[in-house]
Amino acid sequence: MTLPDHLVNDDADLVGRLRGVLLDLHAGSSSDDAVSALLALRGILSVDVVDRDRLTLLSHRSMDPAPPPWTALAWLAGDARIPETLLEPFDVLASWTAHRRLVWGGDTSVDDPVKGVKMVSFVRRLDGLDDTTFVDRYMAHGPVARRHHGMQRYRQNVVTTAGQDGPAPDAVSELWFPSEEAWRDDFYLAPDSRDAVATDVAGFLDRRTTSSTLVTEHLALR
């Protein structure tokens, strides 16, 4: 995907290029051990692990609470790679490079990762949208989200290159809420917020192929 020249706008912070790797843990492998090994890797930024204990929260937002077909999403800086030895417990389902920007929220970790709720959405564009139109409309969603959603932090990742492992999304959205209560009560801020958000995303997002789930974010070891 070719990014438009005006990628940076508003008060959003362009972080730069990074890689996403979507992983599924082999049956019988230890999730804790496998994720800990990834977090110790040089160049790793974070690993999002599907939060199976709280997927029922998705039903509060009329989303599918079924577990997704993946276990973890690893984010790596620049040209960093995961060694084959660390990939042995996993199947690699997809990989991509992306440009990331923090739309709002300062530090991108939740204040209390045990209490907080993080949602990851794999965004797929409407059929027929070219790169520039999709990116423009996706990024223009930031002010709409800020007006109508009550999340603590919001980050957008525009996928620029897909790997050979499997189909990659067109973008990855990350939403942080400070608590389950905020997820339930503040996902939409006003009576018209649900309709306003739906109208906006209808201009760039394919609801049939876009998917969302809840994760626990593990930051890299420092």
Q: What is the mean pLDDT of residues 34-40?
A: 96
The tally of domains found in the chain comes to: 1
pTM for the model stands at 0.92
Long-range contacts of 66-70, Cβ-Cβ distance < 8 Å, separation of 24 or more: 67/213, 68/211, 68/213, 69/24, 69/93, 70/22, 70/23, 70/24
Show Cβ contacts of residue 59 under 8 Å, excluding neighbours closer than 6 positions: 65
Tokens, residue 134: 């999709």
Which pLDDT does position 43 carry in this prediction? 95
Which pLDDT does position 106 carry in this prediction? 73
67, part of any domain: yes
29, part of any domain: yes
User: Could you give the CA distance from residue 179 to residue 185 in angstroms, rounded to a whole number?
Assistant: 10
| Residue 7 pLDDT greater than 80, yes or no | no
Half-sphere exposure of 69 (CA within 13 A, CB side): 6
Tokens, residue 52: 């199976």
1, part of any domain: no
Nearest CA-CA partner of 102 in 155, 34, 161: 155
Q: In CATH, what number is assigned to the domain containing residue 27?
A: 3.30.70.100
For 92, the 3-state DSSP assignment is strand
User: Could you give the CA distance from residue 64 to residue 16 in angstroms, rounded to a whole number?
Assistant: 32
Its domain, for residue 214, covers 13-219
Q: What is the mean pLDDT of residues 159-184?
A: 96
Given a contact cutoff of 8 angstroms between Cβ atoms, the answer to whether 41 and 88 are in contact is no
| Residue 73 pLDDT greater than 60, yes or no | yes
19, part of any domain: yes
Helices 193-201 and 131-148, axial angle in degrees (round to 10)? 170
5, part of any domain: no
The Cβ of residue 116 has, within 10 Å, a number of other Cβ atoms equal to 20
| Residue 208 pLDDT greater than 60, yes or no | yes
| Residue 20 pLDDT greater than 50, yes or no | yes
| Residue 127 pLDDT greater than 60, yes or no | yes
Given a contact cutoff of 8 angstroms between Cβ atoms, the answer to whether 60 and 183 are in contact is yes
60, part of any domain: yes
Q: Cα 93 to chain center, whole Å?
A: 15
165, part of any domain: yes
